[in-house]
């Protein structure tokens, strides 16, 4: 492995804290499309919607019946997908580091938890599409998607019984997917905003995997970690704002390639390399 990884190894050997920030790229090898490819689009009637239009409160508040099928379809893709070797590597890293490890994920697919990362140390900062909550915020509770809700095909619609099944059990308003939409703000209660910033402040090493850096909190996490002198490793097949950040700092490393190829080797190296001091 890369000699430039020395600061990362030293961090782990010296009892430093590690933050891992993941995006849709880590789940691409589990067969879950990122938002960039053709699979990200959704057609209603003859119109194509981009995620940036569909994944908004503005759209849901006017057309919940158009937004829900997209989530139910994506949820079925995620439910049928399996965690891959990249997810597994992060489970090994958490087992090794325990409370020195935090995983901040933008993914809503739930695969990190299914792979075995702990709920306690995994911050799902954009939510989880296997859960729903009251669209009118009548209560803070979250619920699973009820049995019996249909699984729309790609570009499909809700079944007749779905709207009733997707009502809030408390106030009978629509429930909504528990995800952060493009026109909404982060908060601590639902999305662990302040906790994530704290993790960035305390991190001695930040590992970024498979994100295009198009969202706000991840960029803040990167900027804070860099400003405080953390080592940064970016893993991505393509250049992105985090690889550019890593290139600008002395202890930054860019590993160009897929998460499934790079992450297992990197984690082995971080775990075993730091053992033979």
Give the active site residues.
Answer: 126
The residue nearest ligand NAD at its CB is: 25
Give min distance, CB of 142 to Zn ion, in A.
12
With tokens 């007749």, the residue in question is: 160
Q: How far is the CB of 250 from ligand NAD (least distance, A)?
A: 24
Helix axes of 216-227 and 193-202: crossing angle, nearest 10 degrees: 20
Q: Which does 168 bind (CB under 5 to 8 A by kind): Zn ion, ligand NAD, none?
A: Zn ion
Smallest separation, CB 139 to ligand NAD (Å):
24
Which residues contact Zn ion (rule: CB under 5 A)?
134, 138, 168, 170-171, 173
CA-closest candidate to residue 48, choices 155, 152, 153, 156: 155
Nearer to ligand NAD, 10 or 142 (CB): 142
127: phi > 0 → left, psi -120 to 50 → alpha, else beta; which? left
Binding partner selected for residue 100 from ligand NAD, Zn ion, none, CB under the kind-specific 5 to 8 Å limit = none
Distance (Å, whole) CA 229 – CA 7:
11
- Binding partner of 219, given ligand NAD, Zn ion, none, CB within 5-8 angstroms per partner class: none
Closest to Zn ion by CB, 78 or 135: 135
Q: Which is nearer to ligand NAD, 76 or 163 (CB)?
A: 76
Distance CA 199, CA 218 (A): 12
Tell me which of ligand NAD, Zn ion, none is bound by residue 29, counting a contact when its beta carbon lies within the kind-specific cut-off of 5 to 8 angstroms.
Answer: ligand NAD
Q: How far is the CB of 147 from ligand NAD (least distance, A)?
A: 23
Cα 110-120-143 angle, rounded to 5 deg: 50
Footprint of ligand NAD on this chain (CB under 6 A)?
A: 23-25, 27-29, 32, 34-36, 106-109, 126, 210-212, 214-215, 235-238, 240, 258-259
Q: Do residues 188 and 165 touch, judged by C-beta distance below 8 A?
A: no
Dihedral class, residue 135 (left if φ above 0, else alpha if ψ from -120 to 50, else beta): alpha
- DSSP reduced 3-state for 43: strand
């Amino acid at each position: 492995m890369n000699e430039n990884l020395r600061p990362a190894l030293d961090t782990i050997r010296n009892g430093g804290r590690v933050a891992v920030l993941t995006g849709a790229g880590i789940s691409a090898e589990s067969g879950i499309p990122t938002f960039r490819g053709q699979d990200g689009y959704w057609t209603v009637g003859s119109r194509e919607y981009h995620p940036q239009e569909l994944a908004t409160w503005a759209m849901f508040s006017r057309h919940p019946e158009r937004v829900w099928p997209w989530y139910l379809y994506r949820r079925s893709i995620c439910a049928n997908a399996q965690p891959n070797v990249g997810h597994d590597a992060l489970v090994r890293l958490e087992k090794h580091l325990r409370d020195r490890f935090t995983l901040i994920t933008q993914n809503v697919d739930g695969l990190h938890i299914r792979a075995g990362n702990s709920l306690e140390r995994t911050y799902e900062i954009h939510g989880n599409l296997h859960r729903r909550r009251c669209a009118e915020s009548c209560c803070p509770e979250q619920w699973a998607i009820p049995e019996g809700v249909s699984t729309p095909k790609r570009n499909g619609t809700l079944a007749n019984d779905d709207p009733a099944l997707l009502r809030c059990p408390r106030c009978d308003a629509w429930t909504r997917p528990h995800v952060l939409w493009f026109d909404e703000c982060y908060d601590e209660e639902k999305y662990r905003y302040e906790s994530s910033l704290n993790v960035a402040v305390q991190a001695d090493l930040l590992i970024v995997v498979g994100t295009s850096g198009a969202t706000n909190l991840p960029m803040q996490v990167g900027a804070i970690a860099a400003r405080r002198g953390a080592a940064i490793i970016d893993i991505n097949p393509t250049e992105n704002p985090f690889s550019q950040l890593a290139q600008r700092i002395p202890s930054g490393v860019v590993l160009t390639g897929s998460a499934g190829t790079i992450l297992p080797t990197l984690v082995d190296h971080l775990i075993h390399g730091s053992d033979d001091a």
